[in-house]
Amino acid sequence: MLKGIPKILSPELLKVLCEMGHSDRLVIADGNFPSESMGKDAIVIRMDGHGVPEILDAILQVFPLDTYTDKPVQLMELMDCDKGKIATPIWDTYKEIVAKYDERGDKAVGNIDRFDFYDEARQVYCIIATSEAAVYANVMLQKGVV
């Protein structure tokens, strides 16, 4: 056991976060995200039973966001056919969490097209697979320096 480390962060995840370098990225994926197929060249860590907000909050306690890019936090944008039909209140939760740890607040959060998100996810260092039930709840983080 360690002091000051959120209990949700497993030894495996802490090791991966520590291994990551400046500009490396990770995805915290919702329950619908194809984590295994997207993560063929990445480390996939399963965190079943947990939602994205609690994992995001815990990670940002130990993980610096990249200050050399305007939007080190990326969300998967709604498809045109879903705009106006699907609400994404979880995005506001993410922005509140990011604001606790990054002085840019919600300005550090951007959105990218679903298929661009998938392309980027194929190149990340780590994908964290969760049981998050909210749709469009995937978030990509780019690591900065301490």
> Which one from 50, 82, 106, 118 is the annotated catalytic residue?
118
- Does residue 22 have an active-site annotation? yes
Under a CB-based contact definition with an 8 Å cutoff, are residues 117 and 139 in contact?
A: no
Greatest extent of the chain over all pairs of C-alpha atoms, in Å: 47
- Does residue 66 have an active-site annotation? yes
> Which one from 57, 66, 125, 136 is the annotated catalytic residue?
66
> Which one from 22, 68, 70, 116 is the annotated catalytic residue?
22
- Does residue 118 have an active-site annotation? yes
- Coil, helix or strand for 141? strand
Please identify every residue annotated as catalytic.
Answer: 22, 66, 118
